[in-house]
Amino acid sequence: MAEVTDSEVTDETNDPGAAPYGNFIHYYTFNPPENRLSLIPTTLLHDVAYGTESSESILLLDVGCNSGDLSVALYKHLQGHNSRGDTTERELRLLGFDLDEDLILRAEQTNPFPENITFIPLDITHDASSRTQLESYLARFGRSRFHLCACLAVTMWVHLNHGDAALLQLLSLLASLCEHLLLEAQPWKCYRSAARRLRKLGRNDFDHFRKLEIRGDIAEHARKHLERRCGMELVRSFGNTTWDRKLLFFRRCERKQGEL
Ligand SMILES: C[S@@+](CC[C@H](N)C(=O)[O-])C[C@H]1O[C@@H](n2cnc3c(N)ncnc32)[C@H](O)[C@@H]1O
């Protein structure tokens, strides 16, 4: 049977016409959290919190969190190995956001850890207001950056709907707001199938599909932008997901000359 990806969904209600931002209502029935989590080391918090104040909460940001299933699963996945070595756990906090308010409502209603996991509606392409909202969350914990930001399966939707500049802006914004970034960028073949499906449905093309200059190896374009423009460096790849997408782990390097 042909592999199904988030741009090739068979369910009518889940087609990109009905979910033009990848805001599929049953996303986790066809892409269960385990598909990605199995690649992420459970000890990741040791890396992301290494050298930071042990009394501080560890702050995670989940970009485009959909109905929150992966956010909660990621929280549990990492929390299980969240210890300083002296058996004391550091508090883990996760902020998930999505532009789809219905999905956020579902995430809130099913949130098993409302004390520590927060979901908010937010469109990350509204650059200034997003920054304000995310910074005000950080300020509650006396921080200017998240320890870790997960941006999984979101880049293509921003890219297709808002264009090249918006993709780069997204990466720059996230890089400025986090110490570590976990990135799963959809490969170019997914763009083609998302656009093809839209055409088959007789709908207009994505606003920017034909005009995109950033194409081909999207993960490589993202890496170059993060390393050359955003003061991040690729630490390692956690491998490829079942949908053959790379899971890349970046960290902020020492501030470089010229970087804001
Ligand atoms: C394919 S789903 C991926 C969900 C989750 N990140 C994961 O990997 O399991 C893409 C999600 O990104 C959200 N999204 C797309 N564009 C967005 C934007 N500009 N701001 C916030 N969320 C966005 C969609 O609503 C959708 O829920």
Q: What is the CATH classification number for the domain harbouring 118?
A: 3.40.50.150
> Is ligand 1 within 6 A of the CB of residue 68?
no
- Is residue 228, in this structure, part of any structural domain at all? yes
Predicted local confidence at residue 88, as pLDDT: 60
Domain that holds residue 128: 59-73+93-252
Contact 131, 173 (CB under 8 A): yes
Per-residue pLDDT at 125: 98
* Residue 185 domain-assigned (yes or no): yes
d(CA 182, CA 148): 7
- What's the pLDDT score for residue 99? 98
d(CA 260, CA 251): 16
In a domain, 205, yes or no: yes
On whether residue 27 sits in a domain, the answer given is no
Domain-located, residue 104: yes
Is 193 within a domain?
yes
| pLDDT in the model for residue 254 | 67
- Distance in Å, CA 76 to ligand 1 centroid: 20
**85 occurs within a structural domain:** no
Say how many domains are in the chain.
Answer: 1
Give the distance (Å) from ligand 1 centre to CA of residue 30. 15
Low-confidence stretches of the chain (pLDDT beneath 70): 1-17, 82-88, 254-260
CA of 252 to the centre of ligand 1 (A): 24
Residue nearest atom 9 of ligand 1, based on CA coordinates: 70
Q: Is the CB of 152 under 6 A from ligand 1?
A: yes
> Is 151 a member of any domain?
yes
